[in-house]
Structure 1
């Protein structure tokens, strides 16, 4: 019996030794933290920041006036920055972008808030002709032939934009031989856009 007990003890010791050796084949545990690097990932780990930044540099924030509750209210938009070296060309480019914003259908959230526009196609803007004062703009229709609310939207949008304004006013004319007139975006005009009228001749 004692011989059998001894043989059993030896067998158990052998099993324990084999288990210990098998465990020793792996990486030993340690209390020192080891930086094995980031876990593998399929994500590109990059953002198109260059394109976004370039786009932001090519745009400028502006305010355009829409009709809401029988008055004029400004909404924020962005238009491409004028890249022309000639200030006159840059002013006309901005004027065209602003007019395009006024002609466009208001966004869904703007419509839900009650905003609308009376500026309709076809309507374009160009630089003043020879003999016009500096900074003048010519519309493809006579300003007085436009709906009063539409003219008020154009006047306030142009008069409050640093590129298209002329001392807080705007010089507007039409395609005919009539001279340009000076318009101002007054508090009365914003409250009653149907009252658009030139303040005085240039």
Structure 2
């Protein structure tokens, strides 16, 4: 009987390995799907993409922004940040969407000496969780708040340095494990 059990277990086809393997995050059974066809665009608004966290990845949802109240990236960036701060709508929560951007986060434009398009947060970007920073970078990176190269220039309060962040496919797929990609900060 023991010999039969040993043969059964040995024949399962899975061989042990001493090499650590990483097959990525486990598959999710969360829906991460919204019925956005039933939402019509309010008059006087512009469609915008906002990234929320769902199933350990970033997923785009559509939102509508008022026309910017001034020139430059700050008015658009503030509206997008306002879309990330509250917890998602009831329908979004039912589809398992969340936001990792801390409440109370605000932003302003560049300080003297900062490159153009710099956005200064009231929190140090390096202190944000991976998903929270990824949400900001990916959302702002697909808007008028990004540089011509598609990067997002973020700094924090005080003497926090300005860093240029990029949103790529790997970051959207795994924002918690992947450091948010940075590139050299453009001068000028």
Q: TM-score range by the shorter chain?
A: 0.7 to 0.9
Query: CA RMSD, aligned part only?
Result: 1.5
Q: Show the counterpart of 1:183.
A: 165
Give the TM-score normalised by structure 2: 0.72
Q: Show the counterpart of 1:197.
A: 180
Larger CA Rg, structure 1 vs 2:
1
* Aligned length, in residue pairs: 143
Which residue of 93, 96, 111 corresponds with 1:129? 111
Give the TM-score normalised by structure 1: 0.67
Show structure 1 runs of 5+ residues with no match. Answer: 1-52
Q: How many angstroms does 1:198 deviate by? A: 4.2
- Return the alpha-carbon distance in structure 1 between the equivalents of residues 102 and 183 of structure 2: 26
Structure having greater relative contact order (Cα 8 Å, sep ≥ 6): 2
- Return the alpha-carbon distance in structure 2 between the equivalents of residues 178 and 123 of structure 1: 15
Residue 106 (1) aligns with residue 88 (2) = yes
Q: Greater helix share, 1 or 2? A: 1
Show structure 2 runs of 5+ residues with no match. Answer: 1-40
| Distance 1:92-1:182 versus aligned 2 partners, 3 A rule | same
Consecutive aligned runs of 4 or more in structure 1 exceeding 4 Å deviation: none
| Distance 1:196-1:102 versus aligned 2 partners, 3 A rule | farther
Query: What does residue range 2-151 of structure 1 map to in structure 2 within 5 Å?
Result: 56-57=43-44, 59-84=45-70, 87-88=71-72, 91-151=73-133
- The answer to whether the 8 Å contact 2:167/2:181 transfers is no
